[in-house]
């Protein structure tokens, strides 16, 4: 058996009968050079949201098992229709639900993990010359019940199947034609990246590039599956996500992002004693408030300032909790600011090339943009700047690192 190709098509790509027919035509093309094609599909367009809305009319806290039984039907519909569309073109095809495809899950409903894939049936259908259309997002647990693996799970389903079927590449076919140096809607000179490392993609994904679910990138990294992010509507090559060591060129910076939906919270005059930060962030976590950047600095007075950013939607709630904790700790005032933006640069190249962060700071400084907070990882530098300067900072950095 020659190599198997696995392709995932998202909800927009199968959002209408016409689009499903377009996907079928495209798969027919691929099949001319790859006899063994496995397709993983999401639910059509808003189907999953519609099903969730339906369940909310019945119960505000639906039983997770029934919730999974309900929302997994969306993928069953799109998979059957995709198989029909292929057959209508004369391409032998069969749809398989997660359970039929041998996708075995573990863990709680709605957030299961794929434990393994029994590939017997998929392989048997491929050997009969069929394109196999598998429902993403679902599997069967050991109680013989359908479970779902969380939002964005179809990408992960595709990667897991690619690994189980020993496919070297997994195509993620979507409504954009690749990963860009920054959001093309924000910076006109944004360019498509031809290759990006798993780690860079993870940073970009967590910074808000929505093209790939971080979990699927991690899963691809673990299994050494190359992801090919490409348009569902064109045959052109997109962006390959793979090991940094396998990449030809390592630019110092691969991508730049802007996030204007965060707010900054600062606690002044925090006593310099152990466990203070732990107390603050445990209480925020208890209230399910996600904290992004965290910076602690020791002032000349021997007291700390702790600053962090949260989603603007969580700001009011975070302020109340933080003020409470500040009082308990005998700290000073709590200051909040939602007129901030976060610009970030990402690139594995910055590990081996000194001065990247310096270039960033100088670029912003030279243009009079004040940096409020800085946080770094090995392959990322993020700065909080005034919101009014966010867009300009993005454009300046995109240009400074020659990404245009």
Cβ-based nearer residue to a copy of itself, 22 or 351? 22
φ, ψ for residue 278, nearest 5 deg: -55, -45
DSSP label at 388?
G
Using an 8 Å Cβ cutoff, are 369 and 393 in contact? Answer: yes
Q: Binding of a copy of itself at residue 87 (CB under 8 A)?
A: yes
Please, what is the minimum distance in Å from the beta carbon of residue 77 to a copy of itself? 5
Question: Minimum distance between the CB of residue 258 and a copy of itself, rounded to whole angstroms?
Answer: 40
Query: Which CB atom, from 89 or from 320, has the smaller least distance to a copy of itself?
Result: 89
User: Under the criterion CB under 8 A, does residue 202 sit at the interface with a copy of itself?
Assistant: no
Which is nearer to a copy of itself, 62 or 386 (by Cβ)?
Answer: 62
DSSP 209: -
3-state SS track over 261-282: CEEEEEEEEECCCCCHHHHHHH
Nearer to a copy of itself, 81 or 193 (CB): 81
**226 pairs with which residues across the strands?**
169
* 110 counts as binding a copy of itself under rule CB under 8 A: no
The DSSP 8-state label assigned to residue 358 in this structure reads H
Site string for a copy of itself, 45-84 (x = CB under 8 A): ------x--xx-xxx--xx-xxx-xx--x--xx-xxx-xx
Site for a copy of itself in 284-323 (CB under 8 A): none
Shortest Å, Cβ 95 to a copy of itself? 6
Using CB under 8 A as the binding criterion, the count of chain residues that bind a copy of itself stands at 35
Question: Of the candidates 380, 296, 287, which has an alpha carbon nearest to the alpha carbon of residue 342?
Answer: 380
Q: Which of 20, 117, 220, 341 binds a copy of itself (CB under 8 A)?
A: 20
| DSSP states of 286-352 | HTTPPEEEEEEEE-TTS-EEEEEEEEGGGHHHHHHHHHHHHHHHT---EEEE-SEEEEEEE-GGGGT
Task: Output 74 or 152, the one with its CB closest to a copy of itself.
Answer: 74
Q: How many residues does the chain have?
A: 404
- Show the site string, 117-156: x = touches a copy of itself by CB under 8 A, - = not: ----x----------------------xx-----------
The reply to whether 36 sits near a copy of itself by the rule CB under 8 A is no
340-346 and 380-386: which strand pairing?
A: antiparallel
What 124-129 contacts at long range (C-beta under 8 Å, 24+ apart), as own/partner pairs, is 125/94, 125/96, 126/1, 126/4, 126/36, 126/38, 127/1, 128/92, 129/35, 129/92
Compare residues 145 and 292 and give the one whose CB is closer to a copy of itself.
145
Return the number of the residue (82 or 382) whose C-beta is nearest a copy of itself: 82
Q: Binding to a copy of itself by residue 23, rule CB under 8 A?
A: no
Q: Give the SS3 label for residue 166.
A: coil
Q: Report the residue number, 76 or 206, with the smaller CB distance to a copy of itself.
A: 76
Q: Which residues contact a copy of itself by CB under 8 A?
A: 17-18, 20-21, 51, 54-55, 57-59, 62-63, 65-67, 69-70, 73, 76-77, 79-81, 83-85, 87-88, 94-95, 97, 100, 121, 144-145
């Amino acid at each position: 058996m020659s190599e198997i190709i696995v392709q995932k098509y998202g909800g927009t790509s199968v959002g209408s009968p016409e689009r499903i027919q377009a996907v079928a035509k495209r798969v027919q093309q691929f099949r001319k050079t790859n006899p063994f094609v496995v397709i993983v599909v999401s639910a059509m367009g808003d189907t999953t949201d519609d099903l969730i809305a339906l369940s909310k009319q019945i119960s505000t806290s639906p039983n997770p098992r029934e919730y999974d039984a309900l929302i997994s039907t969306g993928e069953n519909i799109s998979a059957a229709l995709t198989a029909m569309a292929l057959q209508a073109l004369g391409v032998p095809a069969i749809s398989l639900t997660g359970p039929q495809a041998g996708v075995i899950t573990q863990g709680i409903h709605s957030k299961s993990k794929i434990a393994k894939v029994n590939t017997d049936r998929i392989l048997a259908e491929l050997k009969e010359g069929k394109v196999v259309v598998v429902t993403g997002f679902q599997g069967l647990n050991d109680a013989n019940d359908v479970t779902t693996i969380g939002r964005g799970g179809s990408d992960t389903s595709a990667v897991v199947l690619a690994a189980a079927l020993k496919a070297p590449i997994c195509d993620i076919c979507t409504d954009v034609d690749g990963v860009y140096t920054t959001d093309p809607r924000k910076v006109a000179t944004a360019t498509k990246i031809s290759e990006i490392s798993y780690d860079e993609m993870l940073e970009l994904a967590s910074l808000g590039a929505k093209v790939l679910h971080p979990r699927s990138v991690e899963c691809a990294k673990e299994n050494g599956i190359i992801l090919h992010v490409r348009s569902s509507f064109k045959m052109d090559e997109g962006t390959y996500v793979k090991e940094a060591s396998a990449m030809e060129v390592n630019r110092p910076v691969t991508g730049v992002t802007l996030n204007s939906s965060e707010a900054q919270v600062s606690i002044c005059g925090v006593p310099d004693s152990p466990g203070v930060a732990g107390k603050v962030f445990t209480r925020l976590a208890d209230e399910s408030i996600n904290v992004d950047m965290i910076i602690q600095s020791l002032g000349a007075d021997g007291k700390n300032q702790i600053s962090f950013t949260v989603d603007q939607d969580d700001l009011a709630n975070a302020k109340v909790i933080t003020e409470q904790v500040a009082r308990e700790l005998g700290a000073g005032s709590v200051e909040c600011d939602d007129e901030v933006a976060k610009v970030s640069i990402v690139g594995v190249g910055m590990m081996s090339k000194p001065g990247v962060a310096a270039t960033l700071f100088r670029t912003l400084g030279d243009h009079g943009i004040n940096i409020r907070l800085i946080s770094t990882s090995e392959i990322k530098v993020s700065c909080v700047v005034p919101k009014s300067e966010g867009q300009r900072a993005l454009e300046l950095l995109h240009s400074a690192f020659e990404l245009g």
